[in-house]
Amino acid sequence: MRLPTTTVLSLGLAVLALTGCSNTTSAPTNPPSSTATTYTKDHNAPTAKPLSSAALAYRLLDEGDLGKGYTRTPVTTARHDDVTVIGCPALAKLGGQAAAGGSLDFPHSAKVSFTYAGSSRSEVSEELYSDTPAKLSTGVNRIFNAMTSCPAYQVSAGSTLIDIRAQQVSAPQLGDERWSQLLTYSAGGRRSVVRQTAIRTGAILVVVSGSPALVDAHIAAAVRTAIAH
């Protein structure tokens, strides 16, 4: 089967690091931090209505939100038909949606990706999704529960076989629901660590993936910006 959308995103970041010059994906010791965020009842309402993809694109982070040293990178839309999961029955059982491109293929979405110049091969990517709160909750729970149910498995990406270890970790107290995991990728003697944090606030889902320090530094800003309009 093909990997779920969130796994493909993290895998892309990991493959870049694994084929780079360093043995690990590093992050700045003190990256620019985000301020605290606040929420309104309208965004948190269980009856909140989904937003269009165009509206979500307007709510993505930009270089000004992140601070100095960040460069926007092209968002790839390439298919990943050559990516398969080995040794994780829970992911294989997702079937249908996952095989077609990932259970986070909600009807409305927007994406952006950045590199950080202060540290070699450090990246952070943001995905925004919108659907009814109930559908967002169900979809994300299914993906994260499946991924963290397999502490170790392998992924075949083209000619590269990657060992993956998944660990559920605590998420910041933001939004209505939250999920976070730490994914460690190893291949050819190289190692990369990617953090992935998802926050649902009403009908908006924010997913930030990349170098752990960068995800921690910018997740609050991503949520704040997503609901501020």
Q: What is the pLDDT of residues 57-79, one digit of tens each?
A: 999 999 999 988 898 987 665 45
Q: Which of 20-24, 91-95, 124-128, 149-153 has the lowest mean pLDDT?
A: 20-24
For residue 48, the model assigns a pLDDT of 73
- The residue ranking higher by pLDDT, 14 or 37, is 14
Mean pLDDT, residues 216-221 taken together: 96
Q: Which of 74-83, 114-123, 156-165 has the lowest mean pLDDT?
A: 74-83
Maximum C-alpha span of the chain: 49
pLDDT at 46 over 50: yes
Mean pLDDT, residues 182-191 taken together: 88
CA separation for the pair 70, 183 (Å, rounded): 23
What would the pLDDT profile of 126-155 be if each residue is shown by its tens digit?
999 999 999 999 988 888 888 888 888 888
SS3 137: helix
Helix then strand then coil, in percent of the chain rounded to 5, is 30, 30, 40
Domain spanning 5-227: CATH superfamily: PknH-like extracellular domain (3.40.1000.70)
CA separation for the pair 208, 118 (Å, rounded): 19
Across the chain, what does the average pLDDT equal? 76
- The residue ranking higher by pLDDT, 53 or 120, is 53
Q: Return the ∠ at Cα 219 (arms to 25 and 172), rounded to 5°.
A: 105
